Each structure stands twice: as C-alpha cells, then as structure tokens.
Amino acid sequence: MSTGIVFHAAAAVAYAVLAGSLWRRLGKTQDVQKAGRANRLCLLGALLLQGIGLYQGILGGEALFVGWALALSAAVWLGMVIFWLESLLVRIDGLQLLLLPAATLTTALAALFPQGQVVPHANNAWLRTHLVIALAAYGLMTVAALHAGLMALLDRHLHRPPSPAGQAGIVGRVLDVQPPLLMQEYLLFRLISVGFSVLTLTVCTGAIASYELTGKPLPFDHKTVFTLLSWLTFGVLLLGRYLKGWRGRVALRWTLAGFALLILAYTGSRFVLEVILHRG
C-alpha cells in the first residue's frame, strides 16, 4: 500500500469526525458559526494529512503520476486551504457544513481509487512545473465555480418566504447558517483572483514547455484555444469588478462561463475527434 493512500485514508477519517461534530451541533440547534480554535487546529491537521497524501501520490516517485481521484482531491484541498486561511480573519464556519463532507468524500475516493497514469516527458522540468501549476489553477477555478453555484442557491433561498419557526428543512437550516452573500461574494472574487494568477502562470509555463518539446510556444489546438478563452473571460470579470463594480448574478454568469471554457479545454479536443470527426 502506497504512503499516499494511507495519508488520504487518515485525512478522510479526520474530516468525517469534524463533519460529524459540526452536523451534531446543527442538529442540536447550536451556533455553528463559532466552531472555535480547536476546530481550526483539527482542520489544519486534516489538511496536512491530505497535503502529504497528495504529494506522495502525485510527486512521491521519480515520475509525475496523475489520476482522476487525485485531481479531485487536489481541487478540494486547495479550496479548503483558502477557506482555512480566510477563517482566521472572518467568521465563515457555516461553510464547513458543506466543505467537510466534500473533503471526506474526495479523500476517501483518492484512497480507494489510486489508479492513474504516469505523465510522459515529465522529466522535463518546465513540463513538470506546468502540470503542477495547471492542476492548481483548474482546482481553484473548479472550487470557484462550485462556490458560485452555492451563492446562486443561497440567493434563491433568501428570496423565498421564510419557513415557520422550527419547520425549516435540513437544506434550509444549512443555508440559514451560511455567511452573508456579501461575504460569500468577497470569498468568490478572492478565489477567482488567486485562480486567475495561477492560470496566468499555467499559460506561461505551458508556452515554455511546449516550445522546449515541440518548438511551438502556443500550438493551435482546442486545449490552447479554450484555455486562453477561459483566461480572457476571468480577466474581463476581474476588470469589470474593478472598473464597474460587477457583482451578483452578472459575476456568477461570468464565473460559470469561464469555468465551462476551462472544462472544454480538457474535453473539447477529444469531443471533436471522437464525436464530430468520428476518429479514434
């Protein structure tokens, strides 16, 4: 059994215990917005376990190893790290009701399904750097898109008539203890700003790696085109936020559009070859 599997399994148990504790507080109608210092320290320990598991699983050997479960774990881990750092400054403990079960699931999947593949040419330093940065960028933008979806759900919840006292369903109770929409919006743009910076590094390191391996800095293929379109979309969103104060549903639409283009960067070329052009 690899070390990465062991650390992911340990992280899954730690996240599950933390999630169970917080959901019990919600069931007893206690305040989950003040989880306390002990909770943050325990969460930091779980993050360290998951981080070691990711390092051992992806970079632990001489080659670069990537699998779907490891990529999913890395995306959630990055989101959890940003949440933990922000929780030192503002009260956003209600988000743990959603983040901890997600972290439990993804770390358990990484432990149960460690399969993947060795990335070719990963001995090239620039390609290795590019792939690690790209994984971080896509992970951050995935978390930003999920956060935008949560904000849309919360916006709809706030516009519904309030339920009678004590009669709110479990979903309503979870949404009721979430941070205010303005704070959620602040977190969203923090995620997008960091993700955009990392995505910019992804484009730059990818161009260098491509030039070293093929002699072309930006090959004209679907992955390059959709990645650049996604980068441009997020750049316009941040510029619109800075110059025109974009927020609310406009920001959510641009976020989801940029994420959709990023998804097409990975699936677009295979879709065109196999579905449209009918090639193997």
Contact at 8 Å (CB) between 63 and 131?
Answer: no
pLDDT band at 269 (very low <50, low <70, confident <90, very high): very low
Tell the residue number behind the tokens 């790290």, with chain if given: 81
pLDDT band at 151 (very low <50, low <70, confident <90, very high): confident
Amino acid at site 64: L
> Distance between CA atoms of 35 and 32, rounded to whole angstroms?
6
Q: Which two tokens stand for residue 78?
A: 């990055």
Residue 199 has pLDDT above 70, yes or no: yes
Contact at 8 Å (CB) between 240 and 254?
Answer: yes
pLDDT band at 279 (very low <50, low <70, confident <90, very high): very low
Residue 111 has pLDDT above 90, yes or no: yes
Amino acid at site 88: L
Residue 144 has pLDDT above 80, yes or no: yes
Tally of CB atoms within 10 A around 228:
15
pLDDT score for 273: 42
> Distance between CA atoms of 86 and 82, rounded to whole angstroms?
6
Q: Which two tokens stand for residue 39?
A: 């909770």
> Distance between CA atoms of 263 and 124, rounded to whole angstroms?
25
Round the average pLDDT of the chain to a whole number and report it: 81
Q: Stretch 119-147: mean pLDDT, rounded?
A: 82
What is the crossing angle of helices 181-214 and 125-158, to 10°? 160
Long-range contacts of 169-173 (CB under 8 A, 24+ apart): 173/26
pLDDT score for 162: 59
Nearest by Cα to 266 from 228, 206, 226: 226
Cα-based angle 248, 253, 255 (whole degrees, multiple of 5): 95
Residue 22 has pLDDT above 50, yes or no: yes
How many percent of the chain have pLDDT more than 90?
27
Residue 80 has pLDDT above 60, yes or no: yes
pLDDT band at 119 (very low <50, low <70, confident <90, very high): confident
Residue 183 has pLDDT above 80, yes or no: yes
pLDDT band at 27 (very low <50, low <70, confident <90, very high): low
